[in-house]
């Protein structure tokens, strides 16, 4: 009986503390707990807008974002971006791929926070012909 209790206590102590580190699941934001600090904002062009092919796009990533982890994809294609430190965060900019014409496309953002949590976001645009 004592061995069984010791095993239970050992199992509980082995579970990493970060399992309980996540915040309120009902709170708003792009993540929970520590991941909530990773945020993307000021999307340009705005969500659901019409743009010309090969247009510029940009957004801001919060200060808690690990800048080298920022990846942007559009329709499954990786898009090169420039990341510049600005005003307590990072300005991320790039250009739409040449092949993207006459279609809706979602600009997908994937990044990690300084605490290694992964956060995803994005916005929709319509590319004219």
Give pLDDT, residue 98: 86
Domain positions in the chain = 2-127
Burial of residue 90, with CB atoms counted within 10 A of its CB: 0-12 exposed, 13-18 middle, 19 or more buried: buried
pLDDT digits (tens, 9 = 90+) for 3-58: 777 766 666 666 654 444 444 433 334 455 556 688 999 999 999 999 999 999 99
Quote the pTM value. Answer: 0.70
pLDDT digits (tens, 9 = 90+) for 73-84: 999 999 999 999
CA atoms within 13 A of residue 90's CA, in its CB half-sphere: 21
| Assigned CATH for 2-127 | 2.60.40.1220
CA atoms within 13 A of residue 92's CA, in its CB half-sphere: 29
């Amino acid at each position: 009986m004592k061995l069984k209790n010791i095993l239970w206590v050992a199992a509980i102590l082995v579970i990493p503390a970060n399992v309980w580190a996540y915040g309120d699941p009902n709170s708003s934001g792009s993540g929970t707990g520590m991941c909530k600090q990773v945020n993307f904002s000021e999307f340009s062009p705005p969500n659901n807008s019409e743009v010309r092919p090969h247009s510029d796009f940009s957004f801001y990533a919060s200060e808690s974002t690990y800048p080298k982890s920022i990846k942007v994809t559009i329709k499954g294609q990786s898009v090169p971006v420039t990341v510049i430190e600005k005003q307590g965060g990072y300005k991320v900019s790039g250009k739409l791929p040449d092949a993207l014409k006459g279609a809706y496309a979602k600009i997908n953002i994937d990044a990690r926070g300084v605490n290694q949590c992964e956060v995803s976001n994005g916005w929709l645009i319509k590319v004219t012909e």
